[in-house]
Amino acid sequence: MKWLGNVLVSPGEGGVYGERTLDGYRVWDPYRSKLAALYTLGGGVELTPEIRVLYLGAANGTTVSHVADYVETVYAVEFAPRPMQDLLEVARRRRNIVPIMADANRPEEYAPFMEAVDILYQDVAQPNQVEIAERNLPFLKPGGHLILMLKTRSVDVRREPAEVLAGARAGLEEHLDVTDVRWLDPYHHDHAAIVCSRRG
């Protein structure tokens, strides 16, 4: 992955969402992308050209477009019609994005379009975030990585964020090896990234 000084950039065609460019590269803003925040804070999984990604919660394709600049294929799942329109436009300009309008709670709906992936990225802010990740694990290769962006206030606004994080980690550890856990402050408050690897 490409850094210019302490700025994370990606090499694709610019102008996806009005992002800045630097020396011809697209600047990946950690305040707009939780994945960019994770990388900026020293975490994350290196993106390389042979990697395939299943991205749950693609929204309007901001982060998806940066991921697609680095990897072979991004299967981008989004449920809401309005962001899906933006995602379709992003996918029109990047042929390695496969937009899928579906509910990430029901992976059987898009299983026919899928292949095994190296990274499962989960950014669906629902109370059952961990369960959604687990339902999609059949697509993840042994040795592959799950990156779960936990929005603690979406899980349970009454509990302390640290308590919500501990519960999510415990749930994931039943199926996966947790390799990194970190809060995304100052970029995204009450959000934490949990990075796991799938046992072989």
Q: Answer yes or no: is 62 a known binding residue.
A: yes
Each residue of 15-54: b (16+ CB within 10 Å) or e?
A: ebeebeeeeebbbbbbebbbbbbbbbbebbbebeeebbbb
What's residue 141's pLDDT? 97
What's residue 17's pLDDT? 86
Q: Answer yes or no: is 125 a known binding residue.
A: yes
Q: Answer yes or no: is 123 a known binding residue.
A: yes
Q: Answer yes or no: is 48 a known binding residue.
A: no
Q: Answer yes or no: is 19 a known binding residue.
A: no
pTM of the model: 0.95
* Residue whose tokens read 């390799």: 179
What's residue 80's pLDDT? 94
pLDDT digits (tens, 9 = 90+) for 93-102: 999 999 999 9
DSSP H or E segment with residue 197: strand 191-198
Q: What are phi and psi of 88, to 5 degrees?
A: -60, -40
What's residue 47's pLDDT? 98
Domains of the chain by residue range = 29-198
Chunked into runs of 10 residues, the chain (200 residues) has average pLDDT values of 96 87 95 97 97 97 96 97 94 95 97 96 91 96 96 81 91 94 96 93
What's residue 127's pLDDT? 84
- The listed CATH number (1.10.10.1100, 3.40.449.10, 3.50.50.60, 3.40.50.150) that belongs to domain 29-198: 3.40.50.150
Q: Answer yes or no: is 126 a known binding residue.
A: yes
Q: Answer yes or no: is 90 a known binding residue.
A: no
What's residue 154's pLDDT? 80
What's residue 125's pLDDT? 85
